């Protein structure tokens, strides 16, 4: 009986405390032949503000294309990766530079996306 009470107490206490580990969610995944483009969103607990990440995987090689807070879209057409942003690509309000080419794919940037919602910081 004591063991059941102790186990019940442990289960109750464990469920009271949230897990502070960030959650990773794939927003978009594009496969074209041997290439996979992933747009990953990292969702933090409390006031953690993580940038979204776009990666490219070709065979077993993986590379990060960019980390940014204002990614709007990503697409791949033939040998060009098209990335859309809400304004200039930035991370924590600081402009970032993106590579012109990665793993044999040219990168095109579109900064003309407009958000439909107001964001207050």
Digit-by-digit pLDDT tens for the chain (121 residues) are 778 888 887 777 776 666 677 788 999 999 998 999 999 998 877 667 889 999 999 989 999 999 999 999 999 998 999 999 998 898 888 999 999 999 999 999 999 888 755 544 4
How many structural domains compose the chain? 1
- Its domain, for residue 91, covers 19-110
In the numeric block, which tokens belong to residue 62? 């993986």
Answer whether residue 7 is part of any domain.
no
Assigned domain for 8 exists: no
R_g of the chain computed on alpha carbons: 20
4 within some domain: no
What backbone phi and psi angles, to 5 degrees, belong to 44? -95, 165
Q: Is residue 97 part of a domain?
A: yes
Q: What's the angle, vertex CA 89, arms to CA 83 and CA 91, rounded to 5?
A: 125
Residue 35's DSSP bridge partners are 32, 58
Residue 116 lies in a domain: no
How far is residue 118's CA from residue 115's CA, in Å, rounded to a whole number?
A: 7
Whether the pTM exceeds 0.85: the reply is: no
Domain presence at residue 64? yes
Residue 55 lies in a domain: yes
**In-domain check, residue 50:** yes
């Amino acid at each position: 009986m004591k063991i059941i009470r102790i186990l019940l107490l442990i289960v109750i206490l464990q469920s009271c405390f949230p897990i502070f580990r960030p959650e990773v969610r794939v927003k978009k995944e594009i496969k074209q032949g041997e290439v996979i483009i992933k747009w990953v969103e990292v969702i933090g607990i409390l006031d953690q503000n993580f940038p979204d990440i776009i990666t490219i995987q070709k065979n077993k090689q993986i590379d990060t294309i960019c980390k940014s807070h204002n990614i709007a879209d990503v697409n791949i057409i033939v040998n060009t990766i098209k990335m859309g942003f809400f304004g200039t690509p930035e991370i924590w309000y600081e402009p970032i530079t993106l590579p012109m080419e990665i793993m044999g794919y040219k990168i095109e940037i579109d900064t003309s996306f407009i958000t439909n919602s107001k964001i207050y910081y």
